[in-house]
Amino acid sequence: MKRLLMLSLAAGIAMTGASAVQAISEAEISKDIEEFQGFFLKRFPGLTLDDFQDGVNALPQYAARRANWEINMDFPQYEPEMDKAATEWSAPFANGKSLADCDLAPGNTYPVFDAASGDLRTIEGDINACLKANGEEVIKNVKRGKMARLVAHYKSQFNGERMAVDYSDPGAQDWYAKGRQIYWAKRGQLNFSCADCHVHNSGNSVRGDVLSAGLGHGVGFPVWRTKWQVAGKPWGTIHRRYGGCTEQVRAHPFKAQGEEYKALEFYESVMSTGIPLKVPSLRQ
């Protein structure tokens, strides 16, 4: 806990100075994982690491609403959309190939650091790169609708595989350091960091919502969300969710698939190391 507070201070200082994000080692990252996970396992003693795959539904503070979620998960509303995504995945391009022929990272390994370009590859970015390489139109909205559905389809093949993002490359460690800084830095008119809500206040309520633990974030994404469904766009990727959370503190959201949210996704995925993938999921 002390270290978590120190991290948040360090991030705050880094944001006010012009200095670049500090380099970080593989050993330090492993230690971060241990401390982050240890914090939540202690805060929620009834839960195992695997339980955190269900987001807020895992928390005892949410127990009264969990039954309803379970009933909905038995016959999830997204089923027909998942069938549609499967068809879209194998639908032939003009050149006869399909998304099934794309050169994607195998297994539950996204986001993947690409040493050749120094870039962090997300599944959304790779799907669009593949479409482009095959002369097809890219998917413009990268945070909901068709893209989210396709990502849900692709990732769902690896359900049950434990999160194991590779952070061994120094380039990947830079992405991690950047994501960690964004996670712990205060922002917006409300001056809140991600950690203020999802670490220090996890399990507490804010405006009728219980705040999920930061541990497990991303493991269920893309999700089908009741709140988004009301506006007719139920699917959302993790970057869509980040955008909503950034707006909640009255800050301008970063761009979906931009560097900031990619780094954040990397950081959150590393923190969730060892938790089994469970895609898609339902959220309120």
Active-site residue list: 245
Q: Sign of torsion, CA 270 271 273 279? A: negative
Minimum CB–partner distance for residue 194 and ligand HEC (Å): 3
Preceding amide of 280 cis, omega within 30: yes
Count of residues that interact with ligand HEC, criterion CB under 6 A: 23
Among 178, 217, 262, 278, indicate the residue that binds ligand HEC (CB under 6 A): 217
Nearer to ligand HEC, 145 or 222 (CB): 222
Contact in structure between 143 and 222 (CB atoms under 8 Å): no
Window 5 to 24, contacts with ligand HEC (CB under 6 A): none
Q: Which is nearer to ligand HEC, 41 or 249 (CB)?
A: 249
Task: HSE, CB side, 13 Å, CA atoms: give it for residue 282.
Answer: 18
Closest to ligand HEC by CB, 120 vs 130, is 120
Query: Is the distance from CB of 163 to CB of 108 less than 8 angstroms?
Result: yes
Q: Which of 192, 224, 228, 266 touches ligand HEC (CB under 6 A)?
A: 192
In this chain, which of 211, 263, 275, 277 binds ligand HEC, going by CB under 6 A? 211
- Give the nearer residue to ligand HEC in terms of CB position, either 130 or 265: 265
* Cβ–Cβ under 8 Å, residues 111 and 120: yes
- 206 scored as a contact of ligand HEC (CB under 6 A): yes
**Residue from the set 181, 212, 272, 273 that interacts with ligand HEC by CB under 6 A:** 212
Contact 61, 205 (CB under 8 A): yes
Q: Supply 156's token pair.
A: 């769902």
Q: How far is the CB of 266 from ligand HEC (least distance, A)?
A: 11
Q: What distance lies between CA 211 and its chain's CA centroid?
A: 16
Integer Cα distance of 227 and 139 in angstroms: 23
Site string for ligand HEC, 233-272 (x = CB under 6 A): -----x--xx--xx-xx--------------x--------
Q: What is the Cα–Cα distance from 168 to 242, expressed in whole angstroms?
A: 26
Q: How many CB atoms neighbour CB 111 within 10 A?
A: 29
Nearer Cβ to ligand HEC, position 178 or 241? Answer: 241
The C-alpha atoms of residue 248 and residue 67 are separated, in whole angstroms, by 27
- Specify the amino acid at residue 256: A
With binding defined as CB under 6 A, does residue 55 bind ligand HEC?
yes
Provide the binding-site residues for ligand HEC, judged by CB under 6 A: 55-56, 192, 194, 196-198, 206, 209, 211-212, 217, 220, 223, 238, 241-242, 245-246, 248-249, 264, 283
